[in-house]
Chains A and B, each alone.
Chain A
Amino acid sequence: MTPVIELKNVSKTYEIKKNKVTKALQGVDLVVEPEDFVAIMGPSGSGKSTLLHILGLLDRHFDGSYFLNGQDIKKLSKDELADLRGEEIGFVFQRFNLLKRTSVMDNILLPTVYLPKKDDQKRAWELMEKLGIKELVDNKSNEISGGEVQRVAIARGLIMKPSLLLADESTGNIDTKTAHQIMEILRQINKEGTTILLITHEEEIAQYADRIIRLRDGRFEEREQS
């Protein structure tokens, strides 16, 4: 089976000052199979965000290779990358997850503005039902709680039926109880077949994943969950 993610010797260097560079990622290899639930942990500055941006096709200026569902992303144009990102990857960010003063429904349907499909509305209703936010459909994003915001963001991340859901510190801004509820939802979504890659610095949250990969100074230290 083709892996969803296949990173080969990926490195990323930033020039922070003239003639002074910092290595965010150093020769990273990673394979994520379909239906995997992977957590990437690491302290601040370990390269987590850089990795997420590369995996999310937001940054293509790196050394090494990245195959998403077998496609070499370095061979794709900017527009092709945007299409692939829209179709294959769902994002759940820690902050600035929803459009301000926009309804829950419109937030969920945001990716479909750029890649419309026939049953968008039906799928949105199904996701809202599943995530328990149906009654919020007409609420504006500034009228709902932090936990509800993340549920809406998950619904938006799944609206295009992506093969990969990237969650970047998705529980960072919410209370512990709600954070566990969100993680239960992600776990359920993973069981239904969506590959999830979670970035977190919280050990407790990472325990929901099948695999935890630790990132330190731009390098991996991997261990399997029991």
Chain B
Amino acid sequence: MKVSALLKQSTSALLANKGRSFLTILGIIIGIAAVIALVALSSGVSDNVAGNFSSLGAKKITVNSMEIYAEEEDEPEPPSGGGAGNPLGISSGEQNTMRQLFRGSNSDPTLTAADLEDIQNISSDLVTLVSPQVTNLSEVVVDGIQQKLNLQGVAPAYFAIEESAIGSGQLFNQEALDNNDQVAVLSPSSASRLYGEEVDPVGRTFTVDEIDYQIIGVLAAEEGSGDFGPGRGREGNDIYVPYTTLLAQYELENISTIVAEARSEELVNEASAQIEEVLLANHGMAVLEDADFSVFSSQDILAMRDSTMGLFTNLLVGIAAISLLVGGIGIMNIMLVSVTERTQEIGLRKAVGAKTRHILIQFLTEAVMLTLTGGILGVVGGRILAMVASNFVSVSPVFDLATILLAVGVSVGVGIIFGLYPAFQAARKDPVEALRYE
């Protein structure tokens, strides 16, 4: 059988009813376009999130104060494991990470100065930098105008852990910490919020709860920060002050958060384990599940992101499967109509020497050509859709060749699966009956 002639005849058969052919593949086009666009956008989000987390530092370890749910009468027991209470099937470790990510500072911190000191005393072969992070949402007064900003009490090591560079002025040092100096370093956004874009605020003062702070530096603006970071980093509305000053101002003893940096990415898990061991001993607890603190690293967050993206991907696969099923049924329906309409043609073809398999291949080819065209148009449409949507959601879509090839491959598969039955119907026709068909 001549393949070129087969393709030519299949093409002309499909083009003979252009409108019908297009409507037939519309379901496939929409299904593939939706999947391509959503995958491209979710990949964009994923890369953005990964970029933001990696900008936090892959070596970073965060220790948070954490209330113990079991001891809180008005706090519900957090769900654990899968089942009805956990429809997304997220592990308890991931739930813990999520809880830490999405809740605010603990109003009653549980980490102590002794905890900080003990973490600082861990071998520098394992942990190189340690800083407390005491957060207080404060009314900041500049020229009589009040604004709510986060006052972050940190140690100088914090800037190294966060890889924050100074834009103007200077960072505070250990001496400022020891002397409880009332000095502050602003993030670029807090600087512009308090003083506007054009003004360098270094040397100026602001007031928080009747205490004057002198601004000694502004951090450099971070490039490439997107909308999907944790929202508490250098791009947030943060004002950094010596933590000792903040503890003294508000007569606080405990610390809400301690951040540390492992010597290398490979040592992050080992360093986390060491910190956990030290803190469990300090707090007189045996296991982490009972602890009034939590330890997590960027790698934990990335693992949670991967898990969440996995769920999202499964959801997309489900949507795609349903849409392709509907599209495939449409293809089958139209192919069956086509077989009936072309009964005499089938008889004629058999009369001039076509075998059963030739007719089968021809109708199958037409079904596959339909779905392949639908797949290709869907990919093009999906790309356009993602590009247009990216203007509204501030995400750069990421187009992956493997996804595109998979989409086109699945389209071909749909053509084969749903074209097979009509093709069999055509191939099985008795030539005498087919030629007699009115």
Contact = CB atoms under 8 A, between A and B. Distances in A.
Contact of B353 (A53, A59, A83, A102): A83
Contact of B352 (A78, A86, A96): A86
Contact of B355 (A96, A102, A114): A114
Contacts of A115: 353
B6 interface: yes
Nearest to B353: A86
Contact of B9 (A96, A97, A102): A102
Contacts of A56: 351
Interface in A62-111: 78-79, 82-83, 85-87, 91, 93, 96-97, 99-102, 106, 109-111
A116 B4 CA distance: 11
Contacts of A58: 350-351, 431-432, 435
Interface in B1-39: 1-2, 5-6, 8-9, 12, 16
A156 interface: yes
B364 to A, nearest CB: 16
What DSSP secondary structure best describes chain B's contact surface? helix
B356 interface: yes
A156 B16 contact: no
A96 B431 contact: no
A79 B2 CA distance: 17
A96 B435 CA distance: 8
A82 B435 contact: no
A93 B351 CA distance: 10
Contact of A91 (B2, B9, B352): B352
Interface in B319-355: 344-345, 347-355
B432 A53 contact: yes
Given A99-B345, A102-B9, A106-B8, A114 B351 contact: no
A116 B16 contact: no
B348 A99 contact: yes
A113 interface: yes
A111 B350 contact: no
A96 B5 contact: no
Given A59-B432, A106-B8, A114 B348 contact: no
A148 B58 CA distance: 80
A78 B356 contact: yes
B344 A96 contact: yes
A142 to B, nearest CB: 10
Q: How large is the interface on A (under 10, 10 to 19, 20 to 34, 35 or more residues)?
A: 20 to 34
Given A106-B9, A113-B9, A93 B435 contact: yes
A8 to B, nearest CB: 21
Q: How large is the interface on B (under 10, 10 to 19, 20 to 34, 35 or more residues)?
A: 20 to 34
Given A82-B355, A102-B12, A116 B349 contact: no
A60 to B, nearest CB: 10
Contacts of B263: none
A132 B123 CA distance: 100
A115 B352 CA distance: 9
A24 B306 CA distance: 74
A112 interface: yes
Given A82-B353, A102-B12, A113 B345 contact: no
B305 interface: no
A21 to B, nearest CB: 17
Interface string B168-211: 00000000000000000000000000000000000000000000
Contacts of A114: 1, 349, 352-355, 358
Contacts of B1: 113-114, 116
Nearest to B437: A96
A106 B432 CA distance: 23
A177 B356 CA distance: 39
A150 to B, nearest CB: 14
Contacts of B5: 106, 109, 112-113
B354 A82 contact: yes
Contact of A156 (B6, B347, B352, B431): B352
Nearest to B436: A49
Nearest to B349: A110
Contacts of A99: 9, 345, 348
Interface in A164-223: none
A110 B346 CA distance: 12
Contacts of A86: 352-354
Interface in B337-385: 344-345, 347-356, 358
7 smallest A-B Cβ distances: which pairs?
Answer: A86-B353, A111-B352, A114-B353, A96-B344, A113-B5, A82-B355, A58-B431
Given A83-B355, A101-B12, 10 more contacts: A58-B431, A79-B355, A82-B350, A82-B355, A91-B351, A96-B345, A96-B435, A100-B16, A113-B6, A114-B1
24 contacts: A58-B431, A58-B435, A59-B432, A78-B355, A79-B356, A83-B353, A85-B351, A85-B352, A86-B354, A91-B352, A93-B435, A102-B9, A106-B9, A109-B5, A110-B349, A110-B352, A111-B352, A111-B353, A112-B2, A113-B6, A113-B354, A114-B1, A114-B353, A116-B1
